[in-house]
Amino acid sequence: MTRNTAKGCFIAFEGGEGTGKSTQSRLLAEALRDRGESVEVTREPGGTAGAEAIRELLLHPPGEGWNAQSEALLFAAARADHVARLIRPMIEQGTFVVCDRFVDSSRAYQGGAGGLGDAAIQTLHAFGSGGLRPDYTILLEVDEERLSERLAARDGDVSDAIGGRSAQYHRAVARSFRDLADSDPDGFIIIDGMGSPEEVHARIVTALGPALDT
Ligand code: TYD
């Protein structure tokens, strides 16, 4: 893997619910700031005013909710705004962008578990966001049993429209992420998300290694 040298660097964290993406995004950003880098931490769906408004529609849908196609389009629309208004400008100005989820979440949730297929998601991404790929995509993996414990502790009975889907759906999401990573070994860094946040962070720093040196 090589980094976009002259410009900033775009790093995405991916994985199912409760795998530690938000914590690891924060820890990586702190480590990069300690090295003197300018860092923007953001998330999907969201990251801009428009995309945050779409997030609310997706996670707390009005009426009877979205069908699979509408859901995929809304994620792609949120991403298009996020890429155009925040991610691309930040990369252009030399900032590290650390994003909690990106297009591979749409590929795993809507394309894989949701049954729309990868080609449809890639088409939406090409149209909406010029097909932008992160420089590094870090897939965090945690055992299903450990995940249920973490999620029960974090969310209790309160979950959103997507987080609250069946165990079978979330198993399909995890499998899709793994299939995407296995079919593109250069495009993903798979990290064992078991253990303390500090242990997982150390694995990530080691895996990124010299790639982060500017
Ligand atoms: P969030 O609370 O950010 O999830 P997490 O549990 O990772 O903290 O909610 C985002 C939800 O949206 C999560 O269930 C995953 C889902 N999602 C998709 O289905 N497709 C996507 O493209 C993205 C970015 C998220």
**Ligand 1 pocket test, candidate residues 109, 150, 166, 170, most atoms within 8 A of CB:** 109
Please determine, for residue 3, whether its predicted confidence score (pLDDT) is greater than 70: no
Relative orientation angle of helices 49-59 and 68-82, to the nearest 10 degrees = 160
Which residue has its alpha carbon closest to ligand 1 atom 7? Answer: 17
Please determine, for residue 2, whether its predicted confidence score (pLDDT) is greater than 50: no
Give the mean pLDDT of 47-69. Answer: 97
Atom of ligand 1 nearest to the CA of 15: 7
Please tell me the predicted confidence (pLDDT) of residue 45: 98
Can you read off the two tokens belonging to residue 110? 């809507």
pLDDT tens-digit readout, 140-196: 999 988 888 877 887 777 789 999 999 999 999 999 999 999 999 999 999 999 999
Give 117 Cα–ligand 1 centroid separation in angstroms.
Answer: 18
**CA distances for 126 relative to 62, 79, 119, 120, angstroms:** 28, 11, 10, 10
Please tell me the predicted confidence (pLDDT) of residue 18: 92
Please tell me the predicted confidence (pLDDT) of residue 159: 82
User: Phi/psi at 44 (nearest 5 deg)?
Assistant: -130, 150
Sheet holding 136-141, edge to edge: 39-43, 96-100, 9-14, 136-141, 189-192
Q: Which residues line ligand 1 (CB under 6 A)?
A: 17, 21-22, 43-45, 59, 75, 101, 105-106, 109-110, 162-163
Please tell me the predicted confidence (pLDDT) of residue 214: 58
Atom of ligand 1 nearest to the CA of 16: 7
| Dihedral sign (CA 159, 143, 101, 30) | positive
pLDDT tens-digit readout, 10-45: 999 999 999 999 999 999 999 999 999 999 999 999
Can you read off the two tokens belonging to residue 148? 């249920």
